[in-house]
Structure 1
Amino acid sequence: MFRLKVLLILLTVVSVGCGNSVSSFEGQVDKIQDKGFLISCSDAANKGKKGNIDGIGYMCNVRYTEETIFREVNGNLLNADDISLSSTVNVTLEKPVDIRKKYEKKAPFILTAKEIVLITMNNDDSTIGER
């Protein structure tokens, strides 16, 4: 019985420690920067939040490297220059991050993209793969 209690306590600690990390998120490109983008990440920042969710819009600095893969939904490869303002993208991060916790620390942070998938361009409701 003692072992079972210890195991349950350890599982609880591990599951709480995992927090609300995300490995990918979807958002709209708000700004194009040198080697990166400013992307809306409100859904990822509010992931797992209980109760009322503030109407605050969270923005994430996402940088890309030479290893970052750019592609369309249908798999066609792209370049960083093919991503435009107001486009909707799905960003897969190099490693999972708890975005809300990063914001709570009130310290600047930059996320590194492993892959950026273009979903829609310029707020157009058409999906890229349907062109």
Structure 2
Amino acid sequence: MRKAIPALILVCLILSACGQTRTFEGALFRTDTDKSAFGVDCSDEINKGKVNVDDVGYVCTVKTDGKTRLKDAEGRSLKPEDFSSGDLVRVMLSRAQTITESNRSFQAKEIVLLEAK
């Protein structure tokens, strides 16, 4: 019985990680005036796996700090002002999280400019 407990705990940890997002892509809607956050379309993540989805768009607030890496697809460093509304970006979160209609604010580890508008 004692040997089954660690295996059960491992299975629970693996299942709890399912459905969590570490990275997503979306169009950039805005940057805050102090350049400490980006508004990124996260509708695809919220609607992932759903059927008969309404045409509702969701914007996630992606916070940045001094540790957040901003770069282009080739790996060159960028500044917040290098990003514009409409750009396609890939966001890597600081930790995996479940993105939902009510949970849409996250700390970014990295933001990559994939396609500039």
Give the TM-score taking structure 1 as reference length. 0.73
Change (3 A) 1:50 1:16: farther
Please state if 1:115 is matched with 2:116.
no
Q: State the identity as a percent.
A: 31
Equivalent residue for 2:31? Answer: 32
5 Å-filtered alignment, 1:40-119, equals: 40-47=41-48, 49-100=49-100, 103=101, 106=102, 109-119=104-114
Amino acid at match of 1:31: R
Residue 43 of structure 1: how far off its partner (Å): 1.3
RMSD: 2.3
Give the length in aligned residue pairs. Answer: 112
Cα deviation for residue 23 of structure 1 reads 0.3
Equivalent residue for 1:126?
A: none
Structure 2 unaligned regions, length at least 5 = none
Kindly state the Cα deviation for residue 56 of structure 1 after the two structures are TM-superposed: 1.6
Shifted more, 77-86 versus 50-59: the winner is: 50-59
Distance 1:46 1:65 in 2: 28
Query: Partners in 2 of 1:46 and 1:19 — Cα distance?
Result: 15
TM-score, normalised via structure 2 length: 0.81
| 1:64-114 CA distance string (max 9 Å, x none) | 0010001110111111111111111000000011102xx2xx36x521110
Measure, in 2, the Cα distance between the counterparts of 1:67 and 1:27: 21
CA offsets per residue over residues 2-48 of structure 1, 9 Å max, x none? x88xx68x73x54543341100100011111131111100111123x
Separation in 1, partners of 2:13, 2:50? 20
1:51 CA displacement: 2.8
Amino acid at match of 1:53: V
Helix, strand or coil for the counterpart of 2:110?
strand
